[in-house]
Amino acid sequence: MTYSAAELAALGVTLPPTQADLPYDDGAPMESQRHQLQMELLLDGLRLWLEGREDGFVGGNMFVYYSLAQVRNRDFKGPDVFVALGVPKGERRSWVCWEEDKTPDVVIELLSESTIAADKGEKKRIYQDRMHVPEYFWYDPFNPADWEGFQLVRGTYQPIAADGQGRRMSELLGLSLVLVAGTYKGVEATWLRWATVEGRLLPTDAERAKQQAAIAIARNLLTMGMEPAQVAQATGLTVDQIATIKA
């Protein structure tokens, strides 16, 4: 037999709050424009990547609720970026672990002067001991040297070492995190970005649109009889990419 919320309340059974009942925004902005852009850059690539999956959710600067004690204490802060696989796609106002029946799989915190102590201390302990997040990364957009990753091994975070190419791998996602110097939305910096294991950056919406336009031009040039090497030079695509385009 299934009871409604009202019937359960009449029986003295109190249900935990849902995302519709809980605060989902404290109105606090990101620490800086660069922090906001860095978050957008990480989220943008992941959202396009998720289009190729039937499941999964990506959240940014969103409250994550992991215990009723947290609700009572009005401690509503959430990660800057997180990923959860094996869940239905769709919009969430906040991430309520008892509703989703799981905690995030990967969390990224963007360090700043006001958050660095908590991100490396209290939050790391919560992700490790309370939420059991399998992979945790932090990055300082103003200090690229302060970048670390951790994997939960038998209940304790162990460092994820950078490989010979300077990448840190997310085994759960089958992706890597890399540092890329460049300009994003008019800001020049060293950006943390997602890439495939083969080294291809996950494109943003703008980059994908630009690439699709280049592919359309390349197809026309190939139809006109231009050599692949010439087409690559004219469009900025690689010869390997040209080889996959059918005229």
For CA atoms 226, 237, 247, 204, the dihedral sign is negative
pLDDT of residue 243: 83
pLDDT of residue 25: 57
pLDDT of residue 4: 45
pLDDT of residue 66: 86
pLDDT of residue 31: 74
Residue 116 DSSP SS3: helix
Give the separation between CA 181 and CA 169, rounded to whole angstroms. Answer: 19
Q: Report the greatest alpha carbon distance in the chain.
A: 78
Average pLDDT, the chain: 86
pLDDT of residue 245: 81
Domain boundaries, the chain: 17-199, 203-247
Whether the model pTM is above 0.95: no
pLDDT beneath 70, residues of the chain = 1-30, 70-76, 246-247
pLDDT of residue 75: 67
For CA atoms 37, 42, 45, 50, the dihedral sign is negative
The third-level CATH classification (topology) of the domain covering 17-199 is: tt1808, chain A (3.90.1570)
DSSP secondary structure code for residue 199 in this structure = S
